[in-house]
Amino acid sequence: MHRTLGICYYPEHWPQDQWTEDAAHMVAAGLSWVRIGEFAWARMEAVPGTLTWDWLDRAIDVLGTAGLKVVLGTPTATPPRWMLDKYPDMLAVDAQARARKFGSRRHYDFSHPGYRNECRRIARLMGERYGANPYVAAWQIDNEYDCHDTTLSYSDAARRGFQDWLAHRYQSPAALNRAWGNVFWSMDYDSFAQIDLPNLTVTEPNPAHVLAFRRYSSDQVVAFNKVQADELRRHTSAPLIHNYMGRITTFDHWKVGDDLDIASWDSYPIGFLSDRLEGTAKEKATFLRQGHPDMQAFHHDLYRAVGKGRLWVMEQQPGPVNWAPYNPAPLPGMARLWAWEAFAHGAETVCYFRWRQAPFAQEQNHAGLLRPDSRPAPALAECRQVADEIAKLPDVGTATAQAALVFDYASAWAWDTQPQGADFDAFRLAFAAYRALRRAGLNIDILPPDCADLSGYKLVLAPGLMKISDPLRAALARFDGIALIGPRSDTKTDELSIPTPLGPDLPDTDLSVVLTESIPPDAKIKLQGGGIFRHWFEHLEGTAPVHLSTKSGQPAIMGGDHLRYLAGWPDDATFDAIIGGLCDALDLPSFQLAEGLRIRDTATHRFVFNYAPRAQAWGGTIVPAAGVHWEAL
């Protein structure tokens, strides 16, 4: 696989006479790709209906003739101010019923039909003009869906759309009432028009109501994206991409991915550590300038699957950012490490964000490869180093994984809706399982919930799946490795109610969850042999063998040779012991990697990444802090 570097660039921010020099400088820095255009609607169409392409024509030409391939973005994340005059009701509305106003970005409601048509129009116009442009080698649609919590809107447009969606799904109010159990508190509806959005209710709304709204909302993101994808495909054969974010679970990325060619994501390791990851104060301090050692890998593995094998990093943090609660500089070396880690996980291209630090507006304190005064920022040299290393390192082949983790967005909605324990979170649980696999040094694939084929894997984890899909259940029935299902898996119906007989329904495995407990952060369930469960514990019954018990004698892991159920949420050390034991049982070589040391094997090489702020030994090699080491396998 050919690996390349790229950059995000905003020609509209700079005088045209600077573009040529910038382009030459980019090429000199080892960059091959340049992404442009995604926030420039006001420059393309300052006056409604009057398109101004000349500057963009010239920008693409300057960049392309310098040897760069262009990723052209549709600017639909930033509708111009005049759009609001046309559609005053296009703004999203938050759960507190406040319209989310113009003045930043993403100020649109995914449900609004008028705005969706405008997006179709601008995509068509851009496709017509640039679809066949030889320098435009890829397209990005919109930018960071759901960023700033924009998937869910409680607007009139959303309410009308939701009512239609419900009518389509349930056909009759009576069927909906039955499916949701509206008899419970006399919540029955006589018509779909009576059904409001599930915000601001006196106490919690029916969880089935909320889950339906979450499904509806995800579907709007999928539909919004598809409108543009369909339009662009009429005019271009270049690959279509969206740039996802980290730890966003509000829409089904698998479904958006189905309509695109490549999945990319925006990787801000230090910002994400600070603003969206659990962890002890000590962990946060240790990785303050590196990011969490598993966060990037998780998303590389997730989006590689969402991209059906094709992965990019569309935005790579190069220095301090502006948007996290605290914004320290990365350790020297991290801008290189992050890029190599992405490549080791299958990324084709890593684009740094951004070329020159903008001196104005919201992100003026966000570092680029250049400072605002056009002098090199620290990451520029690391970028050049990676480019040189790519040139030297032979193709390392495609990785294969021994372990797999099933990840399902609808389950995240289900547990958001019905956490039952205040700190229960589907991503957190999946990430805990992922981290344990990765501390064991395994290559991991992340699989969609309707995955129908597990062959090739030895170890499969499926934590927190609301309901096991039929294809997955069939694949599990055929699976000859060990699948560790749970906790909290397959215990609900598709409508987020409790099935009878009680779940999980594991092929040829007699066990049920008969009672569920959540416990506070400081509480623990002690296990035989010294481990502990935290947060969550399910009481299991059935005739299946018990592999591990709690100190009080209740099943902790139960099941057959191939399918087992994990009854609680192990802490990290316990998860390590469980995964280690399973690897031993499977004759799968595994590690207990030191803090911050992580490995990834491609077909030909083993890559070693040291996220720790100190040098660490790997075999006979000393890997420096923020260092990358590779060795042939």
Binding status of residue 615 toward a second copy by CB under 8 A: no
Strands 311-316 and 347-352: what pairing? Answer: parallel
3-state class (DSSP) for residue 342: helix
Closer residue to a second copy in complex, CB, 93/577:
93
| Least Å from the CB of residue 358 to a second copy | 6
Strands 532-541 and 568-570: what pairing? Answer: antiparallel
Single residue of 100, 438, 562, 598 touching a second copy by CB under 8 A: 100
Closest residue by Cα to residue 256 from 220, 296, 297: 220
Q: Are the beta carbons of 37 and 72 closer than 8 angstroms?
A: yes
Closer residue to a second copy in complex, CB, 132/193:
193
Binding status of residue 398 toward a second copy by CB under 8 A: no
Single residue of 18, 24, 89, 102 touching a second copy by CB under 8 A: 102
The contact mask relative to a second copy for 48-77 (x = CB under 8 A, - = no) is ---------------------------x--
Binding status of residue 24 toward a second copy by CB under 8 A: no
Per the annotation, the verdict on 283 as an active-site residue is no
* 365: its two tokens: 């304190």
Residue 112 sits at φ, ψ, to 5 deg, of -80, 115
Q: Rounded distance, CA 538 to CA 487, Å?
A: 7
Single residue of 18, 385, 497, 604 touching a second copy by CB under 8 A: 497
Q: Are the beta carbons of 631 and 606 closer than 8 angstroms?
A: yes
Q: Is 105 annotated as a binding residue?
A: yes
Closest residue by Cα to residue 147 from 297, 268, 267, 250: 250
Closer residue to a second copy in complex, CB, 28/515:
515
The verdict on whether omega for the bond into residue 354 sits within 30 degrees of 0, i.e. cis, is yes
* 480: its two tokens: 């000859």
| Least Å from the CB of residue 55 to a second copy | 11
* 237: its two tokens: 């054969």
Which is the catalytic residue, given 231, 315, 348, 538?
315
Applying the rule CB under 8 A, the residues between 548 and 607 that interact with a second copy are: none
**Quick count: other Cβ atoms within 10 Å of Cβ 453?**
13
Q: Which range in 10-18, 131-139, 215-223, 559-567 contacts a second copy by CB under 8 A? A: 10-18
Q: Rounded distance, CA 633 to CA 607, Å?
A: 10
Closer residue to a second copy in complex, CB, 115/254:
115
The contact mask relative to a second copy for 527-546 (x = CB under 8 A, - = no) is ------------x-------
Q: Is 41 annotated as a binding residue?
A: no
Closer residue to a second copy in complex, CB, 425/576:
425
Per the annotation, the verdict on 631 as an active-site residue is no
| 560: exposed, middle or buried (Cβ count in 10 Å: 0-12, 13-18, 19+) | middle
Q: Which range in 338-346, 374-382, 558-566, 568-576 contacts a second copy by CB under 8 A? A: 374-382
Closer residue to a second copy in complex, CB, 208/475:
208
Q: Rounded distance, CA 527 to CA 547, Å?
A: 11
HEC assignment per residue over 397-408: CCCCCCEEEECC
Residue found under tokens 């990319």: 264
Q: Which range in 158-166, 231-239, 290-298, 508-516 contacts a second copy by CB under 8 A? A: 508-516
Binding status of residue 322 toward a second copy by CB under 8 A: yes
The contact mask relative to a second copy for 124-153 (x = CB under 8 A, - = no) is -----------------------xx-x---
Single residue of 517, 532, 551, 571 touching a second copy by CB under 8 A: 517
| Least Å from the CB of residue 285 to a second copy | 6
DSSP for 577-608 reads HHHHHHHHHTT-----PPTTEEEEE-SSEEEE
Applying the rule CB under 8 A, the residues between 329 and 368 that interact with a second copy are: 329, 357-365, 367
Closer residue to a second copy in complex, CB, 523/622:
523
| Least Å from the CB of residue 201 to a second copy | 4
Question: Which string of b and e fits 577-590 if b means at least 16 CB within 10 Å?
Answer: bbbbbbbeeeebeb
* 367: its two tokens: 């570092």
Q: Rounded distance, CA 254 to CA 257, Å?
A: 5
Q: Rounded distance, CA 391 to CA 55, Å?
A: 34
Residues in the interface with a second copy (CB under 8 A) total 106
Applying the rule CB under 8 A, the residues between 220 and 279 that interact with a second copy are: 274
| 348: exposed, middle or buried (Cβ count in 10 Å: 0-12, 13-18, 19+) | buried
Q: Rounded distance, CA 444 to CA 407, Å?
A: 12
* Residue 555, H or E segment: strand 555-559
Q: Rounded distance, CA 537 to CA 553, Å?
A: 13
Closer residue to a second copy in complex, CB, 161/205:
205
Q: Is 323 annotated as a binding residue?
A: yes
- Which residues are registered as beta bridge partners of 33? 6, 69
Closer residue to a second copy in complex, CB, 308/551:
551
Applying the rule CB under 8 A, the residues between 399 and 428 that interact with a second copy are: 418, 420-422
Single residue of 7, 62, 66, 92 touching a second copy by CB under 8 A: 92
Applying the rule CB under 8 A, the residues between 187 and 216 that interact with a second copy are: 187-190, 194, 196, 198-209
* Residue 536, H or E segment: strand 532-541
Planar angle of CA 296, 300, 306, nearest 5 degrees: 140
Q: Which range in 401-409, 431-439, 511-519, 612-620 contacts a second copy by CB under 8 A? A: 511-519
* 48: its two tokens: 């409604």
Single residue of 88, 134, 281, 587 touching a second copy by CB under 8 A: 281
Single residue of 17, 54, 522, 587 touching a second copy by CB under 8 A: 522
Which is the catalytic residue, given 144, 341, 348, 382?
144
Q: Which residues are annotated as a binding site?
A: 105, 143, 323
Q: So which residues are the catalytic ones?
A: 144, 315
Q: Which residues are annotated as a binding site for substrate?
A: 105, 143, 323
